[in-house]
């Protein structure tokens, strides 16, 4: 995640490698105060998802996820031919979060994973 939307509505640069969203197999990991509103590494199970492609070739994926502390809907938008995503996280508790950033394989990511998962 390179940018996040602030309470004021502007996008700010994320300089903390401890704030991230990761999608690995059937799990979504959310970590960091900006992303998850807590300081844990939240492991969420994908319970349902849908994927659609519009006429221009843009991809939208909607995921319903559930974890110990977070239940949410996550929307991921990818423009055709790109590896840059817009993400909206709408938790059942808390406020909506918006992010932008480059999509990279886990092996190439530069985030800091905290030990343990919630």
Distances (CA, A) of 95 to 71, 84, 89, 106, 112: 12, 23, 9, 27, 24
pLDDT digits (tens, 9 = 90+) for 8-44: 999 999 988 888 999 888 999 999 999 998 889 999 9
Q: Which CATH class is domain 3-108?
A: mainly beta
Of residues 73 and 116, more confidence is placed in 73
| 58-88 residue pLDDT tens | 999 999 999 999 999 999 999 999 999 999 9
Cα–Cα distance between 39 and 107 in angstroms, integer?
A: 23
- For residue 112, the Cα-to-chain-centroid distance in whole angstroms is 15
CA–CA separation, 113 and 60 (whole Å): 27
For position 75, what pLDDT does the model report?
98
Residue 55 pLDDT: 97
């Amino acid at each position: 995640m390179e940018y996040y939307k602030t309470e004021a509505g502007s996008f700010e640069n994320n300089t903390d490698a401890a704030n991230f969203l990761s999608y690995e197999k059937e799990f979504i990991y959310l970590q960091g105060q900006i992303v998850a509103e807590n300081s844990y590494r939240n492991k969420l199970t994908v319970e349902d998802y849908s994927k659609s492609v519009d006429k221009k070739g843009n991809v939208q994926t909607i995921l319903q996820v559930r974890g110990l502390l977070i239940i949410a809907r996550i929307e991921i938008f990818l423009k055709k031919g790109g590896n840059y995503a817009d993400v909206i996280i709408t938790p059942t508790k808390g406020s909506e979060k918006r992010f932008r950033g480059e999509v990279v394989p886990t092996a190439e990511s530069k985030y800091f994973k905290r030990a343990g998962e919630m």
